[in-house]
Chains A and B, each alone.
Chain A
Amino acid sequence: MLKDPRQRQPASRGAKLPRGDETPNRLGKGGAGEAFPWLGLGMLLAVWLGCGLLLGWYVVLFSLLLLGVSALIALPWLAGLLRRPAQASPQASPSPRDGDFEATVFMADWKPNAKDRAVNAVYGLSRMLSRWATTGHQAQGELFMAQGEVDTVVAEAEAAALKISQSFRAILANNDRQTKAALALLGMIQPVEAAAPAGTLNDEWQRMARLQQAQARAAAQWAETAERHAAQQTSACASDLEMEQRLDALAGLVKQVSISTLGMGVQGGASSGDAARALDLLTARVRQLLDSAREVDRQTRRWLAEVRAGHEDTAGALQQAARGLRQSSATAQSGFQQAERNLAAKVADACEVVRSIHQLTLDNQSHINGVVVAMQFFDINSQKLQKLKHPLLSEVVQRLNALAIETRSLGRNFDIDEIDVPKVLREFAVVQPGARGAAPAQPGKPPARPAAAPAVSGEVELF
Chain B
Amino acid sequence: MARILVVDDSATMRQMLGYTLERVGHEVVEVCDGHAALEQAAAQRFDLIITDVNMPGMTGIELTSQLRQRQLTRTTPVLVLTTESEQEKKQQGRAAGATGWIVKPFDPDELLRVLPRVLGPVA
Contacts and interface: CB of A to CB of B under 8 A. Distances in A.
15 contacts: A368-B19, A369-B109, A372-B19, A372-B20, A372-B108, A375-B15, A376-B16, A378-B12, A379-B10, A379-B13, A380-B83, A380-B105, A383-B10, A383-B54, A383-B83
A376 B109 contact: no
Contacts of B106: 373, 376
Give chain A's interface secondary structure class: helix
A291 B73 CA distance: 118
Contact of A375 (B12, B107, B109): B12
A377 B10 CA distance: 12
A131 B45 CA distance: 63
Contacts of B104: 376, 380
Contacts of A372: 16, 19-20, 108
A375 B83 contact: no
Contact of A377 (B19, B20, B105): B105
Nearest to A371: B16
A380 B16 CA distance: 13
Given A372-B19, A373-B106, A383-B83, 13 more contacts: A369-B109, A372-B16, A372-B20, A373-B108, A376-B12, A376-B104, A376-B105, A377-B105, A379-B10, A379-B12, A379-B13, A380-B104, A383-B10
Contacts of A378: 12
A373 B105 contact: yes
A378 B105 CA distance: 10
Contacts, number: 32
B10 A369 contact: no
Interface string A10-34: 0000000000000000000000000
Contacts of B83: 380, 383
A376 B106 CA distance: 8
A380 B10 CA distance: 9
Interface of A: 368-369, 372-373, 375-380, 383
Nearest to B110: A369
A390 to B, nearest CB: 14
Nearest to B12: A379
Nearest to B17: A372
B107 A373 contact: yes
Interface string B82-123: 010000000000000000000011111100000000000000
Contacts of B13: 376, 379
How many of chain B's residues touch chain A, expressed as a range?
10 to 19
B119 to A, nearest CB: 20
Nearest to B20: A372
A250 to B, nearest CB: 94
B8 to A, nearest CB: 9
A372 B107 CA distance: 8
Contacts of A376: 12-13, 16, 104-106
Nearest to B112: A369
A92 B104 CA distance: 59
B52 to A, nearest CB: 10
Contacts of A368: 19
A369 B104 CA distance: 14
A270 to B, nearest CB: 122
A161 to B, nearest CB: 14
A156 to B, nearest CB: 11
A373 B12 CA distance: 11
Contacts of A375: 12, 15-16
B98 to A, nearest CB: 20
Contacts of B107: 369, 373
A368 B54 CA distance: 26
A64 B109 CA distance: 100
Interface string B41-66: 00000000000001000000000000
Contacts of A383: 10, 54, 83
Q: What are the 10 A-B residue pairs with the smallest beta carbon separation, nearest first?
A: A376-B105, A379-B12, A369-B108, A372-B16, A373-B105, A379-B10, A372-B108, A380-B83, A375-B12, A379-B13
A278 to B, nearest CB: 118
B51 to A, nearest CB: 15
Nearest to A366: B109
Interface centre among A369, A375, A377, A378, by most B CB within 10 Å?
A369
A384 to B, nearest CB: 9
Contacts of A379: 10, 12-13
Contacts of B54: 383
Interface centre among A368, A375, A376, by most B CB within 10 Å?
A376
A60 to B, nearest CB: 75
Contacts of A373: 105-108
Interface string B1-44: 00000000010110110011000000000000000000000000
A369 B111 CA distance: 11
Nearest to B108: A369
Nearest to A369: B108
A438 B16 CA distance: 53
Contacts of B20: 372
Contacts of A369: 107-109
A383 B8 CA distance: 13
